[in-house]
């Protein structure tokens, strides 16, 4: 699993943002400035849709005020699904999305997890990176959204310990 001090991997992905959908590289998306990346098991899935993503949408301005240049959500879904989820959630313009349809970035980060019928997806996590190097990683070990949610990231940006 990726850890603080590690360089983020370079993997081909689809970027879904306010400009639409484009072919991209994870290092290009995550490698400049201070970035908050959070991963969810799936677009439209219950906790991801009602708690994890909405928390980051609601806190986007405060997170960016904490010195973050970009907030990115990664999920193992195709770009059509991710675009529909981003639009329905009114997230575009606040949050960019990585559509990692084959889970290659999830695997490269060491953050892929088997979810039975859903297959291998992202473990629920959040991280803070600067210029492509991980500063902090928060992996959700229990159900729900605690250490990987927007409130925990806000605390981390303020320099408080997140347990």
**Catalytic residue IDs:** 48
Scanning the chain, the segments in alpha helix (DSSP H) are 26-30, 46-47, 53-65, 79-88, 104-109, 150-157
**R_g of the chain, CA atoms, integer Å:** 14
Structure tokens at 49: 């849709």
* 1 CB-contact burial (10 Å; exposed 0-12 / middle 13-18 / buried 19+): exposed
């Amino acid at each position: 699993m990726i850890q603080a001090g590690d360089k983020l991997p370079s993997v081909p992905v689809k970027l879904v943002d306010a400009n639409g959908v484009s072919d991209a590289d994870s290092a290009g998306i995550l490698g400049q400035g201070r970035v908050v990346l959070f991963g969810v098991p799936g677009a439209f899935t219950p906790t991801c849709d009602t708690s994890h993503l909405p928390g980051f949408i609601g806190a986007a301005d405060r997170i960016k005020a904490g010195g973050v240049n970009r907030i990115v959500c990664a999920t193992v879904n195709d770009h059509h699904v991710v675009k529909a989820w981003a639009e329905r959630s009114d997230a575009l313009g606040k949050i960019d999305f990585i559509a990692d349809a084959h889970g290659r970035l999830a695997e490269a980060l060491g953050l892929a997890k088997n979810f039975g019928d859903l297959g291998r997806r992202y473990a629920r996590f959040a991280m803070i990176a600067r210029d492509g190097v991980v500063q902090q990683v928060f992996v959700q070990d229990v159900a729900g959204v605690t250490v990987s949610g927007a409130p925990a990231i806000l605390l981390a940006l303020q320099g408080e310990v997140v347990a």
